[in-house]
Amino acid sequence: MMELTNELLMITDKIINQFERTKTEGREGDFYREVVPFSNKVQHIVDEWIVFVLPWIHEKGSTKLHSNQVHSTKDQLEKTMVQAFFPQTSRKHFTDSIHAIQFVLKAILMEAEK
């Protein structure tokens, strides 16, 4: 679970880099050659991650982390990994989503290390 969480944190950096590249170039990513392959790869990791994290939160009984945060993080990852390829994506909304994702992922790592 920690390995997947760390991998998702690294993926958020890739998503940010893609977003910045898209904004700078002002062009949409090619849907079938760029967006779909990237999204499929990330989706596979997210799907695997959530299978481990939800039972762990339930077993741990964490007062800081809740399953709704995990579901929200999954949803936000699924949105931002696609939005990063579109220049019309709002920078504020994108940045807020990425920060929320990173906050939950880091909280999971901190809880797991205890």
Compute the residue count for the chain. Answer: 114
Burial label, 85 (beta-carbon count in 10 A; 0-12, 13-18, 19+): buried
Position 63 scores a pLDDT of 64
User: What is the domain partition of the chain in residue ranges?
Assistant: 2-113
pTM exceeds cut of 0.85: yes
CATH class of 2-113: mainly alpha
Is the distance from CB of 94 to CB of 19 less than 8 angstroms? yes
Position 96 scores a pLDDT of 97
pLDDT, tens digit (0-9, with 9 covering 90-100), for 49-103: 999 999 998 887 766 888 999 999 999 999 999 999 999 999 999 999 999 999 9
pLDDT, tens digit (0-9, with 9 covering 90-100), for 15-62: 999 999 999 999 999 999 999 999 999 999 999 999 999 999 888 776
